[in-house]
Amino acid sequence: MGKSALITGITGQDGSYLAEFLLARGYRVHGLVRRRSPATLARIAHLVEGPERSSDLLLHDGDLGDPLALRAIAERADPDEVYHLAAQSHVGLSFTQPETTIQTTGLGAVRMLEAVRGHRDRSRREVRYYQAGSSEMFGGSPAPQSEVTPFRPRSPYGCAKVLAHQATLIAREAYGLFACNGILFNHESPRRGEEFVTRKVARAAARIRVDPAERLALGNLEARRDWGYAPDFVEAMWRMLQQDAPGDWVVATGVTHSVRDLLEVAFGHVGLDWRDHVDVDRALLRPLDVDDLCGDATRARRELGWRPRQRFEDMIVEMTEREVERAAIDDATHGSRREI
Ligand code: NAP
Ligand code: F7E
């Protein structure tokens, strides 16, 4: 029998890549999916139906707000490994919806841990747990950030992730749960949500190439991020749960770029000068932002044997190319494109 895994957040960017990664390694994959209208299965649609569909993928309805449902799903899936990825993951939104963010991203993780620990105790077999931590937890701590850097979150999202991180440590130390914290720096892909800055810029560059009258509105152009590639990063999650002992690991590329650098690459790729097409909109500035994130992933390299493969420039070009294709499909289907 192969291993089985439960992924919360399977419909998100990372969940979709992780599902593909685990299915390719012979896992039976269970995914937690919340009911939303319209349905949000786009990123895993190819695994659910069509020629690539997998009979080893099983979806379960549930929501992080419902502890009974989480408990029932842990029982039904009976997984060897749990990857807890579901969260309200938008930092900017967490300022306008702090309570929802703390509920979903913070307490949701506490509920998931309790469901997994209860199942482990009842079934008397080991379950390994991964918590999707974030570089946002470092907030105001100067770069480079590693596992020993103090957490100084500067957003409700960062606070919620610190709560989830500490709850994971407590489950490990108090109850002996094999529970790992990944502290992942930004990671992107063509499947990134449209509201995050890399996808927003890639999409705008592709559309403005076709219609130079369109404008792109952005907030803070000076922020620096350590942007990696999501398919590389989900492999690090898996490697954590294959170790002999649980631990906490920073996953990052160690290279930092500004939003301006991002604009140079994406607009440059389609032959445009971004300065002619971008407006700074003060409404898009966050009440507090994190200036500079750059991770030191020495421990992950040494202990997990993990290293990033994709370079920032190549990733942004891939994302922009994908948006060029999407813009062409939008044009052909609708005759006009949607708003940026
Ligand atoms: P994402 O694309 O925003 O996906 C979030 C997932 O959580 C979606 O599947 C979403 O479902 C699900 N979800 C949200 N609220 C839920 C609820 N109440 N009940 C059940 N499911 C819920 O995020 P991502 O980029 O893949 O990131 C995965 C995880 O890593 C998140 O925890 C994020 O905070 C963390 N993280 C991300 C990064 C990054 O750069 N990507 C870096 C560090 C940490 P719907 O599809 O229905 O919305
Ligand atoms: O912003 C600036 C913004 O929203 C990056 C999440 O996956 O990574 C992500 O959080 C920077 C910030 O990502 C716009 O102010 C400027 O300084 O793409 P982002 P994030 O906030 O770093 C961490 C590690 C996570 O854990 C999160 O889940 O770009 N910025 N103008 C903008 N950002 C957005 N979204 N939109 C703008 O118009």
The DSSP annotation for 33-90 comes to E---SS---GGGHHHHSSTT--TTEEEEE--TT-HHHHHHHHHHH--SEEEE--S---
Protein residue whose Cα sits closest to atom 44 of ligand 1: 134
* End-to-end alpha carbon distance in the chain: 47
Protein residue whose Cα sits closest to atom 12 of ligand 2: 223
| Ligand 2 proximal residues by C-beta, below 6 Å | 89, 91-92, 134-136, 185-186, 195-197, 200, 218-220, 223, 225, 259, 284, 286, 289
Contact 98, 288 (CB under 8 A): no
User: Residue 242 Cα, ligand 1 centroid: separation in angstroms?
Assistant: 23
Amino acid at 55: S
User: Residue 166 Cα, ligand 2 centroid: separation in angstroms?
Assistant: 23
List 17, 27, 157, 229, catalytic entry: 157
Q: For the segment 209-224, what is each residue's pLDDT rounded down to a tens digit?
A: 999 999 999 999 999 9
Cα 253 to its chain centre, rounded Å, is 15
pLDDT over 60 (residue 337) = no
Residue 35's pLDDT is 82
Residue 39's pLDDT is 73
pLDDT, average across residues 324-331: 87
Q: Reply yes or no on whether 27 is catalytic.
A: no
Q: Reply yes or no on whether 83 is catalytic.
A: no
More confident residue, 326 or 335: 326
pLDDT over 60 (residue 289) = yes
pLDDT, average across residues 105-113: 98
pLDDT over 50 (residue 148) = yes
User: Residue 100 Cα, ligand 2 centroid: separation in angstroms?
Assistant: 18
Protein residue whose Cα sits closest to atom 17 of ligand 2: 223
- In the chain, which residue ranges form alpha helices assigned H by DSSP? 13-24, 45-48, 67-77, 91-96, 98-101, 108-123, 156-175, 197-210, 230-241, 259-269, 298-299, 312-334
Residue 335's pLDDT is 57
Residue 334's pLDDT is 63
CATH (one of 1.20.1050.140, 1.10.443.10, 3.40.140.10, 3.40.50.720) for 4-189+228-251: 3.40.50.720
Q: For the segment 199-208, what is each residue's pLDDT rounded down to a tens digit?
A: 999 999 999 9
List 89, 134, 135, 155, catalytic entry: 134
Q: For the segment 37-48, what is each residue's pLDDT rounded down to a tens digit?
A: 777 788 999 998
Residue 339's pLDDT is 43
Is domain 197-224+255-289+310-334 annotated with CATH 3.90.25.10? yes
Residue 80's pLDDT is 98
What is the rounded average pLDDT for all residues in the chain?
95
Protein residue whose Cα sits closest to atom 13 of ligand 2: 196
Of 30, 22, 100, give the one whose Cα is nearest residue 72.
Answer: 30
pLDDT, average across residues 63-81: 98
Q: How far apart are CA 86 and CA 6, in angstroms?
A: 11
User: Residue 336 Cα, ligand 1 centroid: separation in angstroms?
Assistant: 30
Going by C-beta distance under 8 Å and a sequence separation of 6 or more, which residues neighbour residue 172? 178, 179, 246
pLDDT over 60 (residue 59) = yes
pLDDT over 60 (residue 305) = yes
Structure-token pair, residue 330: 């939008």
Rounded to the nearest 5°, which phi and psi values hold at 81? -135, 140
User: Residue 17 Cα, ligand 1 centroid: separation in angstroms?
Assistant: 12
As a whole-number percent, the residues of the chain with pLDDT over 70 amount to 98
Protein residue whose Cα sits closest to atom 24 of ligand 2: 186
Q: Which secondary-structure segment (H or E) carries 5?
A: strand 4-8
Q: What pTM did the predictor assign?
A: 0.96
More confident residue, 330 or 86: 86
Protein residue whose Cα sits closest to atom 40 of ligand 1: 186
Q: Reply yes or no on whether 136 is catalytic.
A: yes
Structure-token pair, residue 112: 């998931």
> Where are the domains positioned within the chain?
4-189+228-251, 197-224+255-289+310-334
User: Residue 135 Cα, ligand 2 centroid: separation in angstroms?
Assistant: 11
Site to probe by mutation for ligand 1, drawn from 8, 41, 89, 111 as the one with most ligand atoms within 8 Å of Cβ, is 89
Q: For the segment 13-44, what is each residue's pLDDT rounded down to a tens digit?
A: 999 999 999 999 999 999 999 987 777 788 99
Contact 21, 10 (CB under 8 A): no
If pLDDT is split at 50, 70 and 90, which confidence band does 149 have? very high
Which residues does residue 250 pair with via DSSP β-bridges, in sequence order?
183
Cis, peptide link before residue 144, omega less than 30° from 0: yes
